[in-house]
Structure 1
Amino acid sequence: MAASRRRGVAFWVGTGLVVAGLAMLGYVGWQFFGTNIVSERRQRDAVERLQRDWREPTVGQAVDAGNGSRDGTSGGTAEPVRLGDALALIRIPRFGDGYVMPVFQGVEDDVLARGFGHFEDAAGPGEKGNFALAAHRVTHGEPLRDMPSLRPGDEVLVETRDAVFTYELDTDPRDLVVAFRDTWVVDPRPQNPDPDGVRPPDQPRLITLTTCSELFHTDNRMIAFGHLVSTRAK
């Protein structure tokens, strides 16, 4: 009788472990494959919706065609953008001619699941300061999966309703990996506390790209700095 009870307990323990293992495999599969399928569809929809909205005239929009803004500082949005709203499209030629991703306001998890996130206190596209962005390297569409392939001189094109801003990268992302707590990289004028470390160029209008430094979970972030080289009014 005791042996029978032990066999029964062993059977149910084994069954529980199998179920737990299958659940874990399912979760991992969803993270690495399912989220990509869902996010890629949402990203395409966001790009199409933003392009469609831009074709519609807006009330009160008065952008100077010579410099891309109403106040002479450049910038492409006529009104403040709320958390979670799309504000721009980003293209990185190094990633292919068909690469285009939406940029949303904020860097919360639900925002980054839809594309690039724009740090709320950062400068806007083309503005003075640091146009700081974050995006996933794996899962959720993997916008920056190929971040390590970027090199100084590569272009990052940021399109808004009114203008296209071309930034040029100045640093190799493989040369700067920081802990997620190192928020100096998204400051208006990033200052590396390491005197011999990578720093952005001495330019008034910067861009910063941030993503995970590894393909699997990590608290470290890979960083690339660049600066604005041209603005084309639409």
Structure 2
Amino acid sequence: MATDTRTRPRRRQAVFRAGIVMILGGVGLLGYLAWELYGTTYVSKERQQRATSRIEEGWGSGRTEVRTEFGSASALIEIPRFGEDYRIPVLEGTSDRALGAGFGHFSGTARPGAVGNFALAGHRVTDGEPLRDLPSLREGDEIRVLTGEKTYVYALIGDGDDLVVPFTSGWVTDPVPDNPDRGGEEPEQAGGQRLITLTTCAELFHTGDRMIAFGKLVSEEPTS
């Protein structure tokens, strides 16, 4: 039985439409990935600069706690290994808004320079990616925490990529983090310490694990 010639154009049109839909879907996906990888970082770096300027202006007028459009802030982070221009604001809390403009300070953890654990979260990719190069840090590298009055200098107690844990591992933000995996990376198990913890994604793309780096206070000086 011969095929109805009238159905051939319809089939070609259907295939053509399906092809167009697939192409548009691919373009849309590429656009989304480009925005996530580059667009959000561009926007976040601009936010980091605005928040940093606001904090410095507040310090200049004698305030130690400064209200920015992204939340309350009282510190800036410098990591010399990441370059002379690396200066990232610390916002209170770990909301998307805070992490989109700098580091987020885990609520309930220690203040800069205080006894306990000054615990911070930061993106490794997208949204300014302040901890993209965390694996490049080495034991003894400095993390400088600037406040309106003092600058606290912490030194890493291990390499930046020594410890990877599930995102549910809340012990890493405890006042003295105690690794349940005995023999794993952890600070000295003694009270009265002044610690810092950096947390970020273990991989550059989606992962349920977190990379953790611990440091301890080694000195403090007036903030110039």
Counterpart of 2:146 in structure 1 is 159
The number of residues matched between the two structures is 216
Q: 1:21 aligns with which of 20, 23, 26?
A: 26
Letter in 1 for 2:211: M
CA contact (8 A) 1:168 1:227 kept: yes
Residue 46 (str. 1) matches residue 35 (str. 2): no
CA contact (8 A) 1:101 1:143 kept: yes
> How many angstroms apart in 1 are the aligned matches of 2:66 and 2:41?
31
Q: Structure 1: 5+ residue runs without aligned partners?
A: 59-76
- CA drift of 1:84 comes to 2.5
Counterpart of 1:226 in structure 2 is 215
Could you say if the C-alpha distance between residues 217 and 90 of structure 1 is closer, same or farther in structure 2, counting changes exceeding 3 Å? same
Could you say if the C-alpha distance between residues 143 and 79 of structure 1 is closer, same or farther in structure 2, counting changes exceeding 3 Å? closer
Residue 12 (str. 1) matches residue 12 (str. 2): no
> How many angstroms apart in 1 are the aligned matches of 2:39 and 2:206?
17
Residue 127 (str. 1) matches residue 132 (str. 2): no
Q: Deviations over 1:168-199 (max 9, x none)?
A: 11011222001111111111111100111111
Counterpart of 1:110 in structure 2 is 97
> How many angstroms apart in 1 are the aligned matches of 2:132 and 2:111?
24
Counterpart of 1:205 in structure 2 is 194
Letter in 1 for 2:92: Q
Residue 184 (str. 1) matches residue 167 (str. 2): no
Q: Deviations over 1:136-157 (max 9, x none)?
A: 1111111111101111111100
Q: Structure 2: 5+ residue runs without aligned partners?
A: 1-5
- CA drift of 1:31 comes to 0.8
Q: State percent identity of aligned pairs.
A: 51
Q: Say which one has the larger Rg.
A: 2
After the TM superposition, list the runs of 4 or more consecutive aligned residues in structure 1 that deviate by more than 4 angstroms: 77-81
SS of 1:173 mapped into structure 2: coil
Q: 2:158 aligns with which of 166, 171, 188?
A: 171
- CA drift of 1:233 comes to 3.2
> How many angstroms apart in 1 are the aligned matches of 2:141 and 2:62?
33
Could you say if the C-alpha distance between residues 78 and 25 of structure 1 is closer, same or farther in structure 2, counting changes exceeding 3 Å? closer
> How many angstroms apart in 1 are the aligned matches of 2:11 and 2:114?
71
Counterpart of 2:3 in structure 1 is none
Q: Deviations over 1:11-65 (max 9, x none)?
A: 111111111110000000011111111111111111111101110034xxxxxxx
> How many angstroms apart in 2 are the aligned matches of 1:116 and 1:55?
22
SS of 1:174 mapped into structure 2: coil
> How many angstroms apart in 1 are the aligned matches of 2:115 and 2:67?
16
Which 10-residue stretch deviates more, 119-128 or 6-15? 6-15
TM-score in terms of structure 1 length? 0.87
- CA drift of 1:128 comes to 1.0
Q: 2:77 aligns with which of 90, 98, 109?
A: 90
CA contact (8 A) 1:171 1:200 kept: no
TM-score in terms of structure 2 length? 0.90
> How many angstroms apart in 2 are the aligned matches of 1:79 and 1:98?
22
SS of 2:45 mapped into structure 1: helix
SS of 1:13 mapped into structure 2: helix
Letter in 1 for 2:81: R
Counterpart of 2:60 in structure 1 is 55
> How many angstroms apart in 2 are the aligned matches of 1:54 and 1:102?
13
